[in-house]
Amino acid sequence: MNIKNFLDIVCKEIKYNPVKKPISEELETHLQEIKEDYINNEKITNQEAEEKAVKQMGKPKEIGKKLNKIHKPKLDWKLLSLLCILSVYGLLISFCKIEPGDNSLIGKTIFEMIIGLVLGSIIYFYDYRKIKKYSNLIYIIAICIIIVTLFFGIPINGKKSHLYIGGIITSINACTIAVPLFIIAFTGFLTNYNPDNTKKFNFEIFGVNITINKDLLKIIICSLFSLIVFTAIPSYIDAFLLAIVYITVSTIYIIKTSKNRKKILFIMYGSIISLSILLMFVTQTGIFRMQRLVLSFNPELDPQGSGYTGMLQKEILENSKLIGEADTNIITTDDYIISKESNFTFIYLVGKIGIIGASILVLVIIFTSIKLIINAKIIKNMYGKILIIGLSSLYILQSVWNILMNINLGIQQNINLPFVSSGGQFFVINCLCMALILSVYRRKDINLDENYECEFEKYNYTKKYR
């Protein structure tokens, strides 16, 4: 058997087409090296050396099956199952809020799920590594969405966060779409960072000359500007969440890649803390924020004012049952904000189905968060790893904050519960984010780097299949 026939048999057993060519090229390289060794050491003919090289590699069909198993795309069934359970809770909310003779909410929720499933499937099968080269474009799109909304958006609750376009989709929530786009773009900027970049930017501050890497300068400017545009809406909570994700992603990336990680982290966190203190004094919002913080935990201090929502939540908790509806008219009627606003979904669930049902939801959210963290740890590709960390951080932050504020243990903010709170765009965007995470996981065992070259050195196939 010659090398060509050997490679044809091996590739025939490999089902995932994108890896066939690089695997074939790498195997051929190894075979040619073995063949040259036989020719040089044993002084045999070219054909004999080729046959011996092929024989040394082993049975091609068996090798092909093992390579297919190694490079086979995998679906994360555990994570998908958890997401399905969360979506069922979202559907349950729609059933609970349905009004007699009006099934529009159920139909709307099912339609949103179908849209999320279809778009998510497209993202899932798309090679996430190709997104990296479009990081600049993704960032520009996110900025444009915010800027267009600032000029043409309709104010809702004092925020120009919605852009009405008519037709099937009545409005677009700019913040809901822009936040994950900024995270994806930032991930690309970070993993494209080259510490050895010869392009430097020189400037002077208070007589001190400072030289900074242009890649690093780009990351700093783009991240700060993305936070600033949210404050223009204003949507301080989205700016805060995005800032936390930036810090989390940067910290883990520095720990994983930098030799001087302690020094870099000290500088980064020192700069962040100094900037935060400066902004607090400049904006003079410290007292107001402190009052809001106190009322979030102690709503009885202003029961008819800022603590009104907290008092409603407290009443539901005090009258809730293990199973079944709470003994309070806050749940039985639609006259209260708890039944109307999607960011109060969790406390509404506690009142509608009981503590046990809501506790199961909390467990599912915890298991989902743990699974996302595990996935980030096992991904070898740095871009994929950081991408999962960024999107997972957003999911975990939103989930934890929403639950805590619903039980008066967190500051009241307009934060929805992913996959559970009603809201078409929010659900679809979450589907797309999770589909991207599943796309990364799908290729976790496909041992190809960004240039689609097979890392045969890690597996030493020559010895493995002898």
Q: What is the pTM assigned to this prediction? A: 0.82
pLDDT at 414: 83
pLDDT above 90: residue 186: yes
Between 138 and 325, where is the model more confident? 138
Between 289 and 93, where is the model more confident? 93
User: For the chain, what percent of residues have pLDDT higher than 70?
Assistant: 84
The whole-chain average pLDDT of the chain stands at 82
Provide the pLDDT confidence category of residue 39 given band limits of 50, 70 and 90: confident
Which of the listed ranges 319-333, 336-350, 365-379, 404-418 does the model predict with the highest average pLDDT?
Answer: 365-379
Could you read off the pLDDT of 235-293 as tens digits, one per residue?
888 999 999 999 999 999 999 888 888 888 888 888 888 877 776 665 545 555 666 66
Provide the pLDDT confidence category of residue 104 given band limits of 50, 70 and 90: low
Question: Which of 49-63, 116-130, 449-463 shows the lowest per-residue confidence on average (mean pLDDT)?
Answer: 449-463
3-state secondary structure the chain: CCHHHHHHHHHHHCCCHHHHHHHHHHHHHHHHHHHHHHHHHHCCCHHHHHHHHHHHHCCHHHHHHHHHHHCCCCCCHHHHHHHHHHHHHHHHHHHHCCECCECHHHHHHHHHHHHHHHHHHHHHHCCHHHHHHHHHHHHHHHHHHHHHHHHHCEEECCEEEEEECCCCCCEEEHHHHHHHHHHHHHHHHHHCCCCCCCCEEEEEECCEEEEEEHHHHHHHHHHHHHHHHHHHCCCHHHHHHHHHHHHHHHHHHHHHHCCCHHHHHHHHHHHHHHHHHHHHHHHCCHHHHHHHHHHHHCHHHCCCCCCHHHHHHHHHHHHCCCCCCCCCHHHHCCCCHHHHCHHHHHHHHHHHHCHHHHHHHHHHHHHHHHHHHHHHHHCCCHHHHHHHHHHHHHHHHHHHHHHHHHCCCCCCCCCCCCCCCCCHHHHHHHHHHHHHHHHHHHCCCCCECCCCCECHHHCCHHHHCC
pLDDT above 70: residue 137: yes
Question: Which of 9-13, 174-178, 272-276 shows the lowest per-residue confidence on average (mean pLDDT)?
Answer: 272-276
Provide the pLDDT confidence category of residue 402 given band limits of 50, 70 and 90: very high
pLDDT at 397: 95
pLDDT above 90: residue 148: no
Provide the pLDDT confidence category of residue 333 given band limits of 50, 70 and 90: confident
pLDDT above 90: residue 386: yes
Provide the pLDDT confidence category of residue 149 given band limits of 50, 70 and 90: confident
